[in-house]
């Protein structure tokens, strides 16, 4: 009977969970060069989920990301970052960008900073295989929403790969202007 109550056992549902491994709150009015997550990747998780909320800079800039090559803050700054961004703005125009062999990920177009009502950049990223297990590259994918310097709201999908077979232990988010507000949490994804 199509009107009968259907029962699903909990054991038949997905069981993955998110475990917080790092968090950073940059208070409004601050001025820091970058939001840094040092020595957070470990063999405990192969995938990490990064929640980004209200990232604002002190001037117009793109949101950028680099991996750390050790347990400190030594940046992976060689030409190994490949990324594609694709989406739409609220006027219906295509918003896209690519990076092939860049020295960092460019996660957005130029961001507007002139008023708090702009909302800053929010979204999420998944980081897969940062420790280069089985010599595979690290990949990122996710979505971002932000207001650009033309005062137009954008929503974009992001996919990227960091070439190389050495482990990465953390990352930083930054721009050409200092960060003046951010709320970011990193979770390990437990299968």
Per-residue pLDDT tens digits for 23-40: 999 998 899 999 999 999
Half-sphere exposure of 139 (CA within 13 A, CB side): 8
**35 bridge partner residues:** 173
As a whole-number percent, the residues of the chain with pLDDT over 90 amount to 73
Region 57-75: mean pLDDT is 94
Residue 81 has pLDDT above 80, yes or no: yes
pTM of the predicted structure, to 2 decimals: 0.89
User: What rounded mean pLDDT belongs to the chain?
Assistant: 90
Query: Do 94 and 148 touch, CB atoms closer than 8 A?
Result: no
């Amino acid at each position: 009977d199509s009107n009968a109550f259907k029962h699903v056992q909990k054991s038949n549902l997905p069981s993955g969970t998110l475990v917080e491994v790092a968090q950073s709150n940059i208070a409004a009015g601050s001025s820091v060069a970058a939001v840094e997550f040092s020595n957070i990747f470990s063999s405990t998780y192969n995938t990490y989920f990064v929640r980004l909320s209200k990232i604002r800079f002190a001037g117009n800039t793109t949101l950028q990301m680099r991996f750390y090559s050790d347990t400190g803050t030594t940046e992976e700054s060689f030409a190994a970052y490949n990324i594609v961004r694709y989406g739409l703005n609220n006027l219906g125009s295509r918003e896209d960008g690519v990076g092939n062999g860049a020295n960092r990920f460019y996660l957005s177009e130029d961001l507007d900073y002139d008023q708090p009502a702009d909302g800053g950049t929010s979204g999420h990223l998944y980081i897969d295989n940062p420790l280069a297990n089985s010599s595979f590259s690290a990949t990122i994918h996710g979505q971002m929403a932000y207001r650009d310097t033309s005062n137009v709201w954008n929503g974009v999908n992001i996919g990227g790969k960091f070439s190389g077979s050495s482990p990465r232990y953390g990352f930083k988010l930054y721009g050409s202007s200092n960060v003046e507000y951010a709320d970011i949490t990193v979770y390990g994804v437990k299968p």
